[in-house]
Amino acid sequence: MDFRRQLSAELPVLRRFARALTGDPALADDLVQDCLERAMLKSHLYDPSRPLRAWLFTMLRNLHISGLRRSGRATVVKTVDDLVDGEGAVPPEQEQRLAAGSVSEALERLSPQHREVIVLVGLEEMSYRDVSEILGVPVGTVMSRLSRAREQMRQLLEDRGHTGLRRVK
């Protein structure tokens, strides 16, 4: 019943989600803080029959998106469905930066809409249905984004593998 206790139980997972979404510990915790404040302010709007985690993820994700908009990276975010195929979205300057990159660097190179879907499904293990509600898009869209995100991820990780091999030589 105690809402604050429930929030606090979700805190570790919320922080993990924010960390993976932003790739930046300080930024992630700022986001979590905004999210907690908002959650407490809007607690009366929370429908207890729905999972609290999905509600919090939705809020945090929306705060993150509006943060990206403010910092002028909105072009990538805006209508996701415009990004039919190819989904460029990885700025060229980042292209060179992936040296012996880790999975988090690969994640950072995905477009925000690919990153969020792969984080929600792959890391947070949310169901497609929950993800569709969190992102506000149909399940079919979740799946096609997921498919593209995983393919890009595979290529990025492969590139990274090659770099590693060359180094070893």
Partner 1 sequence: MTNEPNDHMEDWALHAYADGELSSEQRHEVEARLARDPEAARKVADWKRQRALLKSAFDGVLGEPVPPQLAATLRQRAAPSSVSPWLAMAAAMLLLLFGGLGGWFLKGGTLPVMEADLGRQALEAHSVFAVEVRHPVEVPGSDSDHLQAWLSKRVGTAFTVPDLTEQGYALLGGRLLAGNDGAAAMLMYEDHEGQRLSVLLSTPGTDVETALKVEEQGKLIACTWQDGKLAVAVVGEMAREPMMVLAKAVYEKLEG
Chain contacts with partner 1 (rule: CB under 8 A): 4, 7-8, 11-13, 15-16, 19-20, 29, 32-33, 36-38, 40-45, 62, 66, 85-86, 102-104, 107, 118-119, 121-123, 125, 127-128, 143-144, 146-147, 150-151, 153-154, 157
Q: CA-CA distance, 120 to 135, in Å (whole number)?
A: 10
Q: How far is the CB of 80 from partner 1 (least distance, A)?
A: 18
Closer to partner 1 by Cβ: residue 45 or 169? 45
Residue 58 or 76: the one with the smaller Cβ distance to partner 1 is 58
In whole angstroms, the minimum distance from the beta carbon of 98 to partner 1 comes to 14
Residue 12 or 169: which CB sits closer to partner 1?
12
In this complex, which beta carbon is closest to partner 1, that of residue 36 or of residue 54? 36
Contact predicate 67/32, CB 8 Å: no
- 119 CB burial (10 A radius; 0-12, 13-18, 19+): buried
Contact 116, 135 (CB under 8 A): yes
Distance CA 96, CA 39 (A): 39
- The least CB distance from residue 132 to partner 1, in Å, is 12
CA–CA separation, 104 and 106 (whole Å): 5
CB of 86 to partner 1, least distance (A): 7
> How many Cβ atoms sit within 10 Å of the Cβ of residue 6?
17
Name the residue type at position 145: R
